[in-house]
Structure 1
Amino acid sequence: MPSIIYIISLIIFLSWSRNIIVSAETWCYDTVNPMDQDNPTPVRCPAVTEKSDNIYHDVGINPGASTNMFDISFTCDPTTSQTTCDKAKESFEKAGEIFTSVLSLNTPIRINASLIPLSDDTTLGSAAPARLIPLKCKDKKIRNFPQSLVKQFQFSTHPEYAAVDIVAVFNSKCNFYFEGDPTITPDQIGFLELIVHEIVHGLGLVTNWKPLLNSKPVSELTSALNLTSNSDSTQPVVYYGFIETIFDSFIVTNAGDKFSNFTEQLNDFTPYGTKFQDQSAFISAFINSPEYNISQMVLSYSQTAYSMVFLADPHSELVWLESNINPYSKGSSISHFSMEIYDNTTDFLMTYIQHPGRSLETALQQNNATCIIGPKLLYLLETIGYATPNNPNPQKPSLIEFHSTKSKTTSWKNSNTTTTTTTTTTDTNDTITTTDSQTTTKPTTSSLFSSTESIIFNNNYGWINLVISLSVGGLFFASGGWIF
């Protein structure tokens, strides 16, 4: 029987929710402060139609192109020296050039970046999508996409965009090394490597698999909870399931089980639209349900070595995700490449620790890399939807079809019809066979160490009153290097 502490902690968590607002508009979720990514702000983003002269056509950039498709709005703390501010701004421009050289971008990506003092001296910085936008994927499921990616799809009519695509903040108190400085010292962190890493998170390497309860240690992981609620925990609440990000949709276990299937199983908890007497009743029902066991199983995967893989299409590449940290570490687990496998490879960038005292030039030389964007990272970005010269036509989602909120909302579940697809992928000597339940071989590397609002849409299965509540990203701390 779950302890009363779990129940109380989830009541506190749910009490942050706002009053429900039903609308036929899209509700997007904005992150203003990337240091606080667990509390995105729900905003109306009604459909807007672009003028033809506002749509970029055939301006995808090829490798080596001089055009920078990143528009940087930079703010620097006035107490920081002008020299440091100029070096930081130049680093952001360089980062934009790096991404422009490997991605075929048709629409500029706007970043609001700051170098300011943060309250925690050990925090290096963070970045996040400024807005997450719900779109319908090929499998008819609704997932959240980063705005920077949605803009590349060039919908003539689309949910309204935020003013910027990525928000980023970095700590001016930290001892950063800038390209061109004298030899890096052992306690310095390479600024360019740091911001390129963070921009990748802003481009969409973010997960919705997070703890549901505020318990320590963490007891479960779920996709973002969709639950109507308000500040009064004694009032009725209505359940509308869980939602994942586009990144999450490509995660599989080392046995080939898709994490999207786990989200679907969580959504079998009770029919959509089920009303509970109050938050306590919902909590009690969920933690005593079979679906709660699913959330505990996902937690187990997240802290078991070599148990989680991003299955990159169309290359059938395996990208092993960080699951070696035990216990689970929010902000480090899942949303990074495996430290054990990739730290000393061309894909060193997206591990959760950056080594102090190492410049980017040295990192590239040590890992025989020609570009900071490693091949597997590029496959990942292609898979979630970014075009590249080698993959100019990535899969494109569709807009949600909206209908009048006057229509009756009914309980809904996915059809029980099951379609089994088998795909075999090979990555060097590693093989994963993907179905609803298959097996895999482990990598050969040895083991070392809520805000809520609602929308109504038709998803071709029936009416859904969907309440979206998101939790993405995490805090980044220095600890024998830097961990985020």
Structure 2
Amino acid sequence: MSVVSGNPISVERFDLNADSGTYSQHVESTKLPTGKRSTPLSSVKHNFIISTGRESYIVKAAGRQQNYGISSSAAVPTTTQLSSALPPKSTSSQANVQGSTVPLAPPTVTTALSNNSGSSTITSQTSQIEVHLKCNIDATFCNKVANAFGSVILELGKVLQSKNKIIVDASYYHFCDNQCRNTTYGWALPSSQYTLPNLNGVDPNYLYPQALAKQLSPYNSTQWSSEGGQIYDISAEFNHDAYLSGLQQNSSLPANGTTVPTGGLFWFQGDPSIGPEQIDMEYIILHELIHGLGFLSSWGIYFLGPDSPYFPSVQGLINTSSLQIVTLTPNSYTDSKTGAVYLTGFMAGMIFDKFLIANTTVGNHSQSLAVIGDNFQNFCLQNDEAYVVNFINQFDKSDYASDAEYLYQLMNTNHGLGLNMSSLSTTNLYSSGQLLPPSNLGLYTTYNGTNIEASRGNFKPGLTISHFDDSYLTTPDFLMCHSYQTGMTLQDITAQVYDNSAALYYNTTQNGTVAQNAYNYTIGPGILNILNIMGYGTITNNASYPAAFSSDKEFEPKTRNGCSSKGSSGYSQQSAGSSWRYGWSSWTLVAGASFWIILAVCTSSTLLVGNI
């Protein structure tokens, strides 16, 4: 595994002010650690907008329009001349109103090539998911990438429900020149994270990814994360260098106009039969977009190893054993004059973290990571005590250190962690005529039965545990496992795992009539239950959007034993090579902190199985 090194990606944080009904000025803007990488947006060759439509999707470029039907296999395109007129608006009866959810429709792919002035871009008026794709390879290859995105959002649309459009900012390009690793497949993460107090059914003590916050919020905020005036809920990048790494010496150019040989690491619809070492690009994209929806953890090893922004400040000054701890994301800032790094405490976890549990209990440690994380947020230091070396030394002496050391061991133990789904009232899934109860799910931890060394380099903060254990690779929840399956298309893998599993069903009701439907989607039942328990509406969870205001104490943020905000608001500092802005909300302590730890990265150490 490797963390993407490259141009920083901005991740902002906002807080909903329940009194004014607005979001406060963003109090956090973090950027990923930087490294040498080619700039993706400096010379974009091809721009695409890919959005949900109805029965087909369209690729439009260079004065021509290609219509693709949705079927079980790759459709053969038919080509027609472009019309200068926009297509008529959909007459769909889907209501996009308060208190309702709208199933996502199949996708429409429209493309506009920046070097073709006669092209135009069309977005379906009924779209509920949209991808803005920038691609720096040739036009023919970029169309393959765009079509892969089209198929992926179609798959999402089969299960996900939405009130407000979910928008993805995606790029496909060469990540690296010669100075960085080209084994990174790609990544995706929420563009912003939000706290949402005083909303019925919404936990005010956790951070919600923007794609979900937009559904739950009762306001059309003008402060959703955006770039160039365009709102984006998920940021994603995919690496053409990884594709090239899979090319064989005898690879040849296809006769379809592209300058890129077929047979690279990524397989696309329309390519020759998938090779034993190839991975379906739709598999990679869909996996990453699930991360972007919030399938991510904030727990990680923050102070140890070369990827840590704090390690250079403490290396040689603190015993390694004191750095072998797992915590939530630290609140941090850097003195702009001295460069000294300061930590004041720990941020809240992502909503995903609320359901993390240890699969076994040890001593007096809580089985629930939510309880441990809640306690950690009461640890706070100020002034000179907050200097990173002093902070770690004080934390090491505190009552919290034992739990942090326990989590370090837990996350390096086979089958150490899981997701507790008991608070999910029902799965609304049936097998053999019986309603399936919610079941806990096992997460990936670093010990795999063959490598028992808990080394500092084999666990990236937040990333590793944001996957199912690889024992799920042969189940319908294979999509979010730590490893990819090679040599099979996503469609064939999906068919195989359901053929080898007990049949699943879900019910729908129309005009008072209950109908039974087969559940055989690529987004497996466990993944769907996680989206449900986080708060998304799906075909088995008819969530009411937006959430209603509530004066119930249950939906007020907890009062912390943390630091006072006096004298700390408004600083703009430099930290760990990144520009971090931090401040205070009107109701709770919020400080700038690194978001890079929940970056979803796909890499491969072998050609047979790619590790995420």
Q: TM-score when scaled to structure 1?
A: 0.72
Q: Is 1:34–1:128's contact at 8 Å kept on the other side of the alignment? A: no
Secondary structure of 1:457's partner? coil
Q: 1:234 to 1:223 in 2, by over 3 A?
A: same
Number of the residue aligned with 2:392 = 283
Number of the residue aligned with 2:195 = 134
Number of the residue aligned with 1:266 = 376
Number of the residue aligned with 1:479 = 605
Q: Displacement, 1:294?
A: 1.5
Q: Which has the larger radius of gyration?
A: 2
Q: How does 1:140-179 map to 2 (within 5 A)?
A: 141-156=204-219, 158=221, 160-162=223-225, 163-173=231-241, 174=243, 175=264, 176-179=266-269
Identity of aligned residues (%): 22
Secondary structure of 1:257's partner? coil
Provide the rounded CA distance (Å) in 1 between the counterparts of 2:105 and 2:547: 29
Is the aligned partner of 1:375 residue 2:525?
A: yes
Q: Displacement, 1:227?
A: 3.8
Number of the residue aligned with 2:591 = 467
Q: Displacement, 1:62?
A: 3.7
- Counterpart among 329, 337, 348 of residue 468 in structure 2: 337
Q: How does 1:36-435 map to 2 (within 5 A)?
A: 56-57=96-97, 60-62=101-103, 68-77=127-136, 80-119=137-176, 120-136=181-197, 141-156=204-219, 158=221, 160-162=223-225, 163-173=231-241, 174=243, 175=264, 176-215=266-305, 219-231=324-336, 237=342, 239-254=344-359, 255=361, 257-270=367-380, 276=385, 278-312=387-421, 313-315=424-426, 316-325=438-447, 327=454, 329-330=459-460, 332-340=463-471, 342-368=472-498, 370-393=520-543, 412-413=560-561
Q: Displacement, 1:367?
A: 0.9
Deviations 1:3-23 (A, max 9, x none): xxxxxxxxxxxxxxxxxxxx9
Residue type matched to 1:57 in 2? V
Q: Displacement, 1:465?
A: 3.3
Q: 1:277 to 1:364 in 2, by over 3 A?
A: closer
Residue type matched to 2:239 in 1? N
Q: 1:248 to 1:274 in 2, by over 3 A?
A: farther
Contiguous gaps of at least 5 residues in structure 2: 1-16, 18-22, 36-94, 108-125, 226-230, 244-263, 307-319, 427-437, 500-519, 552-558, 563-577
Q: Displacement, 1:202?
A: 0.4
Q: Displacement, 1:106?
A: 1.3
Q: 1:62 to 1:141 in 2, by over 3 A?
A: closer
Q: Displacement, 1:206?
A: 1.1
Provide the rounded CA distance (Å) in 2 between the counterparts of 1:355 and 1:89: 22
Residue type matched to 1:311 in 2? N
Residue type matched to 2:396 in 1? I
Deviations 1:424-454 (A, max 9, x none): xxxxxxxxxxxxxxxxxxxxxxxxxx73512
Secondary structure of 1:352's partner? coil
Q: Displacement, 1:380?
A: 0.4
Q: 1:211 to 1:398 in 2, by over 3 A?
A: farther
Residue type matched to 2:356 in 1? I
Provide the rounded CA distance (Å) in 1 between the counterparts of 2:34 and 2:480: 19
Q: Is 1:207–1:473's contact at 8 Å kept on the other side of the alignment? A: no
Q: Is 1:253–1:308's contact at 8 Å kept on the other side of the alignment? A: yes
Is the aligned partner of 1:27 residue 2:177?
A: no
Number of the residue aligned with 1:456 = 585
Q: 1:294 to 1:468 in 2, by over 3 A?
A: farther
Q: 1:94 to 1:201 in 2, by over 3 A?
A: same
Residue type matched to 2:591 in 1? V
Q: TM-score when scaled to structure 2?
A: 0.58
Q: Displacement, 1:181?
A: 2.3
Q: Which piece of structure 1 moves more, 298-307 or 200-209?
A: 298-307
Deviations 1:80-100 (A, max 9, x none): 332221111011111111111
Q: Which piece of structure 1 moves more, 374-383 or 126-135?
A: 126-135
Q: Displacement, 1:228?
A: 4.7
Provide the rounded CA distance (Å) in 2 between the counterparts of 1:215 and 1:87: 38
| Number of residue-to-residue matches in the alignment | 391
Secondary structure of 1:367's partner? helix
Q: Is 1:301–1:307's contact at 8 Å kept on the other side of the alignment? A: yes
Provide the rounded CA distance (Å) in 2 between the counterparts of 1:231 and 1:221: 28
Q: Is 1:225–1:241's contact at 8 Å kept on the other side of the alignment? A: yes
TM-align CA RMSD: 3.4
Number of the residue aligned with 1:427 = none
Q: Is 1:131–1:165's contact at 8 Å kept on the other side of the alignment? A: yes
Q: 1:413 to 1:364 in 2, by over 3 A?
A: same
Q: Is 1:29–1:132's contact at 8 Å kept on the other side of the alignment? A: no
Q: Displacement, 1:240?
A: 4.2
Could you say which structure has the greater relative contact order, defined with CA pairs below 8 angstroms and 6 or more residues apart? 1
Deviations 1:238-287 (A, max 9, x none): 724332101001111224721111112223434x7676263332232122
Deviations 1:285-317 (A, max 9, x none): 122323122211112221212221212323333
Q: 1:295 to 1:321 in 2, by over 3 A?
A: same
Q: 1:260 to 1:277 in 2, by over 3 A?
A: closer
Provide the rounded CA distance (Å) in 2 between the counterparts of 1:113 and 1:158: 23
